[in-house]
Amino acid sequence: MEQQQTGKRSIALPITLILLVFSLIGNVFLYSLYLQHKQGEKFDDGQQIYGAALDSLQYFEELIPQLDALIQSQGVEERLHAKFLAGKSMQKGLSFEVLAEKALELNGQLDKPVEDQTDHFLENVEAALQTIGSYAGPLTAADQTYLLTLKQSLEAMHATLSTINLNIEDNRNALIRLASGIGWVEKVEKVELLMKNHSAELTKTP
């Protein structure tokens, strides 16, 4: 009887070890799938952040030369062309809101709406550029001052965003790091602060 119990115990031990090994292998496999899924999500987020950052940067790069053209303009026809080109770049400005939302998400503030200064700034710039200089002859001193102030603000924002490394389009690991907020969240927050600080100066009543 004792020999039968000993035999059963000797068989049970290897079976238990085999089941344990299979269980560990299964857990490792499932965890590996989980990590792959999370990496895939981060890669997708990184691509979205990259695209939004690139469009935001192009918004400033395209708009600033048109402000120069408006400042130097001597008549309505010149201004209409500059306004048309400025209007084409406005859609890219909305990409900055995507960056602002992603920054809030990474800071654990997903339930907090994007600060009003972002919308206010972008909407004010678009509205002002559509109405400014709608008269014959050179710009008035007030319009010149507004455009110069706006240009200085945009240049400061562009200088901040341009420090984000965007030479990573084909670099999967770099895009995944981007999704973690490395190297850009604090710069987006600085641009938002610039928008907030300059909102009063940039407000124009047509």
Residue 65 exposed, middle or buried by CB count within 10 Å (0-12, 13-18, 19+): middle
Q: What one-character DSSP code corresponds to residue 162?
A: T
What does the pLDDT read at residue 31?
66
What does the pLDDT read at residue 154?
94
Residues of the chain with pLDDT below 50 are 2-3, 7, 204-206
| b/e code 118-135 from CB counts within 10 Å (16+ = b) | beebbebbeebbeebbee
Return the structure tokens found at 136: 């014959």
- Residue-wise pLDDT tens digits, 112-139: 555 566 888 888 888 888 888 888 889 9
What does the pLDDT read at residue 184?
93
Q: 0.95 exceeded by the pTM?
A: no
**Tokens 């209409």, residue?**
80
Return the structure tokens found at 73: 């303009």
- Residue-wise pLDDT tens digits, 76-95: 988 999 999 998 888 898 89
